[in-house]
Amino acid sequence: MRDSVTIVGASLAGLRSAETLRRDGFGGRISLIGDEPHQPYDRPPLSKQVLAGDWEPERALLTPAEKLEPLGLDLRLGVRATGLDVAARELEVDGVAEPFDGLLIATGARCRTLPGTGGPVAVHTLRTLDDCLAIRAALDDGARRMVVIGAGFIGAEVASVAVGRGTSVTLVEALPAPFARVLGQEMGAVVADVHVANGVDLRCGVGVSSVAGEPGAMTVAMADGSDVYADLVVVGIGVVPNTEWLEGSGLTLDDGVVCDPTCLAAPNVVAAGDVARWTDPRTGESMRVEHWDNAVEQGRHAARRLLATDEEAEVFAPVPWFWSDQYDRKIQLAGRPHPDDEVRVVDGSTDERRFAAFYGRRGQLTAVLGMNRPRQVMQGRGLLEQGVGWDDALAVAAGWD
């Protein structure tokens, strides 16, 4: 029986793991350590409601103060984990070593930066609450020309919000279509049409050479020789898991903290959320998932794994799922598609941008994508959980109303 649990990362996964420990009856000390000064907050609203100005930052808190207090947490904000010795069971916090009994790592990830863009104030990334408020302040101050570099889900949502605020947006993507690496080129082209229909200057298949200038007078030099002028620039080109502080710790690191299928990274150590890499027992694939739903479910699972014996431990076998709000479209994806999967529209129409599509590979259903089709996506997710084959899945979809 453990006397205490230390959670590094005052994140969604970190907080949900703490709540799970208390809900399951753990009465020992729970320390929740976070490097930001803010109470744990939700990230999806940062590129949606908070950025749009529809919500104030307090509304994005994951748990109101009155509900956080009963958890009895040793909440330590504004401090940083700087090292770990698994064998000695010591965690280093701001350079000071302290013992741990059980450790849950939920340090998440940080944004990739574009080389050569560290100087101008008007070049932003969006990961934290402070990032969001800085971009919102620029929009509030009258920025009317925005360049978004990277048409992934964060970049696409930022573009959508900015258009809604009356800002002219150029969206730049090095791939042939937005989300081509995730959704494949065919479905990526459908998403591209949504942005173009809403007035975005979408430039695909071209990279960025440099960004120069000052706030209100930025020049983005494109690899094709053209220039785009902007008041501010937002870079959304993916994230890097926060594992540098774990070098030499005794953990295996490989684009994340490597765990077994139960989320155990080492004796007495588990990981959850964006930083965790584990082997999916459904497919045998080594995976690291950056979705909101995964952070919730893996945080809960890892907390229980930390208290379980090896005999009691269960594998973590989710069907990944996420959503993205862009303009008046809600895009949802369940499963793990590959760009070369077969894609079949099973409901609605891509021309109307209201549809559900199945992805399949080697006779298996691998994913379901929906645009303004939430019911069909949830039904498809159920088929994925059951491991339904491709032909059987198509037969089920044929019976949908």
Per-residue pLDDT of 92-128, as tens digits, reads 999 999 999 999 999 999 999 888 666 666 789 999 9
Measured distance CA(316)–CA(377) in Å, rounded: 22
- Residue 19's alpha-carbon distances to 13, 22, 42, 235, in angstroms, are 10, 5, 15, 34
Average pLDDT over residues 238-249: 97
Q: pTM for the full model?
A: 0.95
Burial class (CB in 10 A: 0-12, 13-18, 19+), 254: exposed
Average pLDDT over residues 141-152: 94
What pLDDT score was predicted for residue 347? 96
What pLDDT score was predicted for residue 120? 61
- Given a cut of 80, whether residue 66 has pLDDT beyond it is yes
Write phi, then psi, for 334 (nearest 5 degrees). Answer: -120, 140
What pLDDT score was predicted for residue 215? 83
What pLDDT score was predicted for residue 361? 94
Structural fold of domain 4-110+239-307: FAD/NAD(P)-binding domain (3.50.50)
Average pLDDT over residues 204-215: 91
Both structure tokens of 117: 């863009």
Is 334 within 8 Å of 342 (Cβ atoms)?
Answer: no
- Given a cut of 90, whether residue 239 has pLDDT beyond it is yes
pLDDT band of residue 213 (cuts 50, 70, 90) is: confident
Closest CA to 47 of 236, 237, 241: 236
CATH annotation of 328-398: 3.30.390.30
- Given a cut of 80, whether residue 2 has pLDDT beyond it is yes
Percentage of residues of the chain with pLDDT beyond 90: 89
For residue 163, how many C-alpha atoms fall within 13 Å in the half-sphere facing its CB?
22
User: How high does pLDDT run on average in the chain?
Assistant: 94
User: Could you check whether 4-110+239-307 and 113-235 share the same CATH topology?
Assistant: yes
Question: Domain residues of the chain, as ranges?
Answer: 4-110+239-307, 113-235, 328-398
Per-residue pLDDT of 25-46, as tens digits, reads 999 999 999 999 999 999 999 9
Burial class (CB in 10 A: 0-12, 13-18, 19+), 7: buried
Percentage of residues of the chain with pLDDT beyond 70: 99
DSSP, res 61:
B
What pLDDT score was predicted for residue 118? 62
Measured distance CA(32)–CA(298) in Å, rounded: 17
Residues 6+ apart with CB under 8 A from 124: 131, 134, 135, 138, 232, 233, 234, 235
pLDDT band of residue 64 (cuts 50, 70, 90) is: confident
CATH 3.50.50.60 assigned to 113-235: yes
Instruction: Report CA dihedral (68, 74, 75, 77) to the nearest 10 degrees.
Output: 170
What pLDDT score was predicted for residue 289? 95
Residues 6+ apart with CB under 8 A from 226: none
